[in-house]
Amino acid sequence: MADNNFVDYVKIHCKSGNGGPGSHHMRREKYIPKGGPDGGDGGRGGHIIARGNAQYWTLLHLRYRKHVKASHGGSGSKQESSGAMGDDMVLDVPLGTIIKDFETGETIGEIIDDGQELIIKKGGRGGLGNVHFKSSTNQTPEYAQPGEPLSEGWIVMELKVLADVGLVGFPSAGKSTLLSVVSAAKPEIAEYHFTTLVPNLGIVPYHGHKSFVMADIPGIIEGAHEGKGLGLRFLRHIERNSTLLFMVPIDTDDIDKEYRVLLNELKLYNPELLDKSRILAITKSDIFDDEMIEDLKQEIPKDVETIFISSITKKGISQLKDMLWQKMIEPIL
């Protein structure tokens, strides 16, 4: 995904349709001059609907769509004919989209399945025609209900990337390189901080035609939970990942300390993130020989599964995929 093509936040004004008024028509035909009420109901106003579409990965297509409006319901008519329903306005969104009311901040709902539909703003109900108000004491009611008014307001859509594995690490930890090696994704890779400015997704093939989705999240720095670096904007994407792969380069001064800093940033942002399965990958291990790696094992964290990998030489990559797959299937075993 090109940087300028990834949009994970949009604000849109939504306006549903008015319900159509019911009819207060009286039946008048050649041989039935006083046929009584036969007014039909008004049609429902159009809804504003969000629909999950697995073909979308971003909210880019909605970036410049600031106002959406559904049509009004039609009026009821004679012979108990109901008015036409207003056309719904359907907004296709990527899976992982959260819709909130802009004014209150209240979450309206989440879209997580392909084809799932969520009514954002309900159209007004159509009014009842006068035929509904006929009674033994009022044989010719000359009134009918008006349609219910429309609903409108500003809503916010936030995308949280849906992926099985999220890569967590400081800038230049080797996340993009790993993603490019295990999948067909081609993220930008360079030796400077914040090469990755947007989440990149890759489908990782696994044994027996299985696969899982891996997300390369822009690098975290200390203070990210307060908005430092790329901050809060991308920390929310980690909330959707079932397994977190922490990545720390082997030539880091203190691997355990760097891992703890990353862990703490996630905890300060959302403590529930610490409940997710996690693995620590020590990257760029091709620059150390076996003896140096054995010595280093005494200094790495003991409370997390750890593996030494090299995306350049493919060292440990196959074992890493096995470990990730095992972590993903543990909850369903």
CA distances for 64 relative to 4, 70, 96, angstroms: 13, 18, 20
The residues pairing with 69 across neighbouring beta strands, listed in sequence order, are 15
Confidence check: pLDDT of 192 > 60: no
Strands (E), 115-242: 117-121, 152-159, 165-168, 200-206, 210-216
Q: Which helix (H) or strand (E) holds 178?
A: helix 175-182
The whole model's pTM is what?
0.69
Query: 103, 155 in Cβ contact below 8 A?
Result: no
Listing DSSP states for 114-137 in one string gives TT-EEEEEPPPPPPPPGGGG--SS
Query: pLDDT confidence of 222, banded at 50, 70, 90?
Result: low
**From CA 312, how far away is CA 314, in angstroms rounded?**
6
Quick one: tokens of 14?
């939504």
pLDDT confidence of residue 228: 45
- May I ask the CATH class of domain 165-332? alpha beta
Tens digits of residue pLDDT in 75-123: 999 888 999 999 999 999 998 899 999 999 999 999 999 999 999 999 9
The pLDDT tens digits of the residues spanning 231-285 come to 455 677 778 788 999 999 998 989 999 999 888 888 888 888 888 899 999 999 9
Q: Give the CATH class of 1-159.
A: mainly beta
Indicate the domain borders of the chain: 1-159, 165-332
